[in-house]
Structure formats: C-alpha cells, structure tokens
Structure 1
C-alpha cells in the first residue's frame, strides 16, 4: 500500500502542535496521492504550483492509495483485491499500525480521517475498526474524528433523490422525472431484496436515463457539462463489461490524462520507489470490479455505531453535487438511531463566511455533541477543488482550530 506524508508547514507552529489528517479518495479505485493531493488539498496543484488553500498550513497530511490496487498501491495476485468494506478496513489497520509504530511523533497528535465519495464509506468502516483497535491497545494513536464528504454512505438515498433534485433545478421536466423515478424504483427493489450486484447494474442504467434526459449533466457538478468520452477510448477499455460507464464516471474522472501523465512521469521518477513495471492507476479497474457487490450496500449502521461510541462524526456536502446530492444525505441522516438525533434536528443552522468582509454566505453548519453537518454552497462533489477556502475553514473548525 502506497502512502504519502507531508509534515505541516505553518509559519508559527511546529507540526507537533497541529493535527494529522488522513485523506481518502472515492471510486473505489480513485487515488488520494494523485487526486486529493494534486487536485484538492495538497501543497502543489497539478501544474506543480503552490496551492494557496492547501490544508498543509493547518495540519500534517497523510494520503493513502486504498483499497490495494489503487494509484501506486498494487497487488501481485488477483485474490489480494478487496471485495467488501471489512477487507478494506482490515488492510487499513495493518497500514495504520505500521505507520504509527514507525512514526511515534504522531502517536499523541490528534488524528482525523477526511474523505470524499466512496472514500466516505471506507472512512466510516475504517474509523470503527480503528476505534476498536485503540481500545484493545493494538494501535497507538490519538483518533479525534472522521469527516464524511459527499459520502456514499447510503447509495439508495442518493439514487432516490436524483429525480427530485434535478427537477427542482429545471434539469428534468415532468416526463423526465417520471422516467428517472421509474428506474430509481428498480434500484430500490434490487437493494431491498439484497441483490447488490444487480442494484449496481441498475444504478448504471439510472445514470444513463439521467444523462439522456438532462443533455449530459455532469454528475459531479450540475452547473458544468460532462466532457463526452471519446468512443474509441471507452470501447477499448470496456468491450465486454457492463460497468464501463460506471467506472468511467467514478474512477476515470479521478485520473484524467494530465494527472496520469504527472503521476507516471515526474512524480514516479522523483519518488524512486515505484516498481519500474508498475504504473499509477493501472489496476484501478480491477479494484472497482472486485468491489461491485459491495458498491450499493449502505453503511448507515456504522455511522450510528460511531456516534454511540462517542467518535466525532462530521458530514459535509456540496450543494451542486448530483452523484451524492445533499437531499440524499439528509435523508439517511434522518434515519439514524443515535439517541441524541432529536436534539440535533431541533437546532437551527448557522451561516458561515470565508471572507469576513463579504456578506456572501459560503456554507451553513449545525452541530450537536459529536455530530456536525456542513452544507457547502457553490461546491460540487469535490468540495475542496470547487470551494478551496471554505473547505479549509471547515477543516480548521472540525479539527478545533477555529
């Protein structure tokens, strides 16, 4: 498993006075060390220019390419790929145990897991295992909380809210809404029967119905247009597999050609530790396909367990995200069994501003005890790349630096 650590670079504070943040990308098969690092929160952007909203000013950053086979992580036998959330979490426990044993300077520092998309589902499972491991004394670390960004916690809630959300944004008419709702019901039916592989395939069908009815809306930000895939490229990669489009939407998006060239060119050369015959992202298709049966499974009960265990849980979502829209997130959160939920629900949310001089609202937040929710305005699925300043402020608030 490949990981990449940056020590915090705050002009006034030593790294030991700041938290450690681990960032997990989605997919499954999207690379944190590539996408999260160069496109979202790392010190340099994809042109290797300094990013002025890097999280490194207020935290040390640990990017991990997980599950195995993602990014620069690789497997040399096919049965090593993860097939479900339990396997993902148990692999990560091995990495975290090794990491904290080898970097004792981080054992006492508050450790947070931030995530995006499918990374959020993985982060929930990993957080619960980490909490147990710390209690058992098998991992020494100061785990301070998890943040689930635009997270695939309850896939079916996302699918069921696609139609109403697009309709409210004028991207569907009555007829389009009826078509999308019909296919969403098919997905629901498969999930209810526990037919998760079939649900994943129907989910792909639902995406196609949406693309046809919205003139190709971008699932990652409804205000932008999806660049059409070149047919040659897509047919080359996926002649046999029904998951072709699905993979393209969720993993190919995270390793666009320019990023791939950067990672396989200057970065690989600079790192000096990547096997010569292995290229960044080469196994990501297999990562995705092996997780197919797990893809549509919910993880709401894991969030409940984390809350009951007293773990700090933050949920944040971009207003313009479709794939994991805010309506869907609110929907599964209403069904949490956490005993404090009624109190959380009663609270009024607070407006947040990234620029104190401006009256423009950047986000809303609501928090009670160990649960917080951030509504990030004018952001799509990749919150830090759409609203870097607000994402940074949120990270500071979550890690109690604001």
Structure 2
C-alpha cells in the first residue's frame, strides 16, 4: 500500500501534537508508509525532504540510508542517533544530513525496526533476497514520488548495511538499464562495511596489537581463533564460520578486558559482554551487535511518541521486536564476501565510495584496505599510485579530520577519531563528506 495524500500527513502531525504534548518535530516536510514487498513481508520507510535555507528540496540529492546488523533500524538508530533532523531527545541536530539532502530511511531486511513479517517464512535469508525486496520498495517509492525520479539518488550505508547496499546497487543498476525502475542513480557509499568479513576478522589481532590492546599471547590466541574462521570460509561452511566469528569475538573480549568493537577508545568499565552458560551464539551476537542499536531510551522513544506520531504501525508490531529473527535468518549468509559485487559496480561505471572510521575494530580499516587491493577493477593500479589528500575537520579548522583518495569512479575516505558509527562520532566531518560525494563541496 502506498499513501499519497498530503492531508493524511497533516492529520498525523496534528495527532502527534495532541496526543504526546510535544511540539511538531519538524518545519520541513516528511512522509512515511509501508510497502508489502512479498506476501506477508512488510517494509517501512520514512522520508525527510531536504530542509535547506539556501536550496529547494528538489535541487538537492536524495539519500537512502541503510543500517547494519542485520536487524538494526535506520528509522530509529540512523535517524535519531546519527543523521536525522532530531536527536534521541527530540532536539535539532546541527549536523543533520537533511540540510544537504532528502533522506530516505528504510527498515530492512524485513523484520527490522517497524518492518515486519506475518510469519516465519517472511524473513530474508541472503543479500540477494534483501536486494530483491528493496527493489520492490524502490519501484513503489519512485512511482509514488515521481518528483524524485530525476533527482540524483545515492545509497549510503553502515556496517552490514554496506554489504546490502552493494547488492542493492547492482540490482538497481540493472533495473534502471532495463527500464523497470526510473531513477537517477548517482552512486553508493559503503561505510565501515562488511564487504569482506574474513579480511576484517583476520586483521583484528594485528590491529589490536599495534594499538597496545593485545599482548603477544593475546595476539596468538586471537589469530588462532581467526584462523578457524578462515578454514570454515575456505570450506564454504558459512554458518559454521558465523559461529566461529562469534567465538573469535569472545577471545578478543577475554584478552582485551572487553574492548568496544565499535570504537576502541570508548570502553567503559565492565563493558565487555560475558557469555552466559548455555547461551547460543545467535543470542550472544544479538546482545553484542543488535541490542546496542536498540537502547532502552531509543526503544522507548520509538515505541512511544514516534509510534503515536506515525499512526500506521500495526497494533501487534513492536519496533525492533523481530530483530533477532532477522539476524538468525541471515546467519548462513553473514560471512560471505561481496567483493565481486563491488567489482561489478565499478566496471559498470557506478560511483563507489568507501569510508571508514580510524577507531573501528569490527570493520577495521586494515581489513578494508586488504579487500580493496583484491579488486579486479581496471582502475585499481591508478588508484593505488595516488597519494591521499588531507581534509580539515570542519569543527576544528587547521586540524586534519580525514584523508581521501579519488580515481575515476572510486573514492576512499579515512575518517579520523571516528569508530564504526562515523556520523555519530564525527558529525561535522561526515556531513562534509556527504557534500563532497554528492558534489556540493
């Protein structure tokens, strides 16, 4: 179902004001709805039109934001913790991406955030299925919002969202070429992305050792655990590899006193996750990587005032209520690489950007650089010959905030002092990067 009536949105905003006692959250225009992408599989999207004092919304690009997990909600975490117009406390965000682009959040895969499935057979099980579902949603979206068909359209992503973004971008490129979807696809940006899981896991030990977070004994233990993951991947035992990846994370935690996988400098006392006796690895990984995207305060916001504002959320649907099932159903696909997909995108002429946080562990920059060197793209030798260019931190002029390289249709941004969630850690630099990628700076 697709809702198009402006009056409906006005009623929703008025309902929000009356029933929550809060002020209308935005001066800009917004919309949201569900699309049934398969029988019983419902995906939720939320659009903020660009709200810039110097440009009309249709003169600015459209950005689709994809969260990680799988099972992390873009309409929740990406919106209120990273790039949306308001933060979790419903206060204006100075570094919101909405000032430079219209932003489309989609809760994907099905079962994430406010998206839901009517039964256990409705979950996606691999990135091909995720891409197919997203193509259905985008076909509906661009048909309903025809004014966006000519607007430059970018996909930005984070973590596992990058793996999904690569697959979605390839299918989108094919659909546009075949005429089954009309949009002006301008490029994809892969942030701290799970493109080559094994390259990430194999570099955890060296990265932690060089940052003084492992001693030589710990390095040996982490490397041994990572080697077990490698053997499983080489044998194409991908679900086993996902389980061994979880084991490797436990070895890392035990040897680092609970390092924070998302930012190695933000560890709090007793932050490490302790494995409960008899706990399966799916539940453990849900606590490690899904629950941090569903904090109690964010969950209260989404299932309270935001749910009331949106009105259309079914009574039996809880924001984040199916997140563990999302992750569980993707477990067999989790450790599979998609480097070949990035190669196909580059060869097709799609603008591809990699960006990574200096302090990220789970998708460390060392691992990202390893898989980039494996690309078969004809432009890679030219890219490798280039020196990077420093970028000033917009919040601290004269201080380096990032480095970047660009060659033909491929770019790489190294974001300093940022972990896994770059817009959250380094908001001004992330906004500057967005403007550069979308050719506004």
SS in structure 1 at match of 2:261:
coil
TM-superposed deviation, 1:228: 4.9
What residue number does 1:258 align with?
A: 297
Deviations 1:323-357, CA, capped at 9 Å, x for gaps: 00000000000000000100000001000013387
Q: Aligned partners of 1:151 and 1:248: how far apart in 2?
A: 20
Q: Partner of 1:361: helix, strand, or coil?
A: strand
Alignment of 1:180-195 (within 5 A): 180-195=222-237
Rounded to whole Å, the distance in 1 between the matches of 2:426 and 2:45 is 25
Which residue of structure 2 aligns with residue 85 of structure 1? 127
**Aligned with 2:69: secondary structure?**
coil
Are positions 1:290 and 2:329 aligned together? yes
Q: Equivalents in 2 of 1:357, 1:175: separation in Å?
A: 40
The question of 1:336 aligning with 2:375 is answered yes
- In 2, Cα distance between equivalents of 1:127 and 1:226: 37
List alignment gaps of at least 5 residues for structure 2: 1-42
Q: Which residue of 1 aligns with 2:40?
A: none
User: How far has the Cα of 1:277 moved from its partner?
Assistant: 1.7
User: Any runs of at least 4 consecutive aligned residues in structure 1 with deviations exceeding 6 A, and if so which?
Assistant: 229-232
1:279 is matched with: 318
Residues in 2 aligned to 1:343 and 1:193: alpha-carbon distance in whole angstroms = 34
How many residue pairs get matched? Answer: 399
Q: Distance in 2 between matches of 1:174 and 1:296?
A: 27
- State whether residues 283 and 324 of structure 2, in contact with CA within 8 Å, keep that contact through their aligned partners in structure 1: no
Report the TM-score when normalising by structure 1.
Answer: 0.97
Task: State the partner residue of 2:215.
Answer: 173
Instruction: Report 1:307-326 matches (<5 A).
Output: 307-326=346-365
Structure 1 residue matching 2:232: 3-state secondary structure: helix
Q: Which residue of 2 aligns with 1:110?
A: 152
Query: Hey, what's the Cα distance between the residues in 2 that align with 1:314 and 1:231?
Result: 33
Cα displacement (A) at 1:12: 1.2
* Aligned: 1:221 with 2:263: yes
Name the CA shift for 1:194/1:227 in 2 (closer, same or farther; >3 Å): farther
What is the alpha-carbon distance in structure 2 between the residues aligned to residue 185 and residue 137 of structure 1?
Answer: 45
Matched residue SS, 1:134: helix
Distance in 1 (CA, whole Å) between partners of 2:272 and 2:359 is 25
**Bigger proportion of residues as strand:** 2
Equivalent in the alignment of 1:11: 53
CA distance in 2: counterparts of 1:30 and 1:287, whole angstroms: 9
- Superposition pairs for residues 25-104 of structure 1, below 5 Å? 25-104=67-146
Query: CA-atom RMSD, angstroms?
Result: 1.5
Q: Cα–Cα, structure 1 residues 357 and 248, in superposed 2: closer, same or farther, change >3 Å?
A: closer
- In 2: Cα distance, 1:53 partner to 1:231 partner: 32
Residue 184 of structure 1 and its aligned partner are, at CA, apart by 0.6
Does the 8 Å CA contact 2:258/2:271 hold for their aligned counterparts?
no
Indicate if the aligned counterparts of 2:260 and 2:272 stay in contact, CA closer than 8 A. Answer: no
1:357–1:147 CA distance, 2 compared to 1 (3 A):
closer
* Residue equivalent to 2:389: 350
Q: Which runs of 5+ in 1 are unaligned?
A: none
Superposition deviation, residue 224 in structure 1? 1.2
For normalisation by structure 2, the TM-score amounts to 0.88
- Deviations along 1:78-120, whole A, 9 cap, x unmatched? 1110000110000000000000000001000000000000000
Cα distance in 1 between the residues matched to 2:75 and 2:278:
29
Partner Cα distance (1:365, 1:55) in 2: 20
Separation in 1, partners of 2:307, 2:142: 25
Partner of 1:374: 413
Query: 1:217-270: CA deviations, max 9, x gaps?
Result: 0000000115757999x86xx965322221222211111111111000000011
Q: Tell me what 2:21 maps to.
A: none
Provide, for residues 281-319 of structure 1, a one-character-per-residue CA deviation record: whole Å limited to 9, x for no partner: 000000000000000000000000000000000000000
SS of the residue 2:399 aligns to: coil
Contact kept, 8 Å, 2:225 with 2:247, in 1: the verdict is yes
Paired with 2:287 and 2:268, the residues of 1 have a C-alpha distance of 11
CA pair 340-63 structure 1, distance change in 2 beyond 3 A = same
TM-superposition CA deviations, 1:152-197 (whole Å, max 9, x none):
0000000000000000000001111001011110000000010000
Q: 1:364 to 1:334 in 2, by over 3 A?
A: same
In 2, Cα distance between equivalents of 1:166 and 1:5: 39
Q: Higher relative contact order at CA 8 Å, sep ≥6: structure 1 or structure 2? A: 1
Secondary structure, in 3 states, of the residue corresponding to 1:365? strand
Q: Is it true that 1:383 corresponds to 2:398 in the alignment?
A: no
CA distance in 1, matches of 2:369, 2:273: 37
Matched, 1:124 2:163: no
The partner residue of 1:143 within 174, 178, 185 is 185
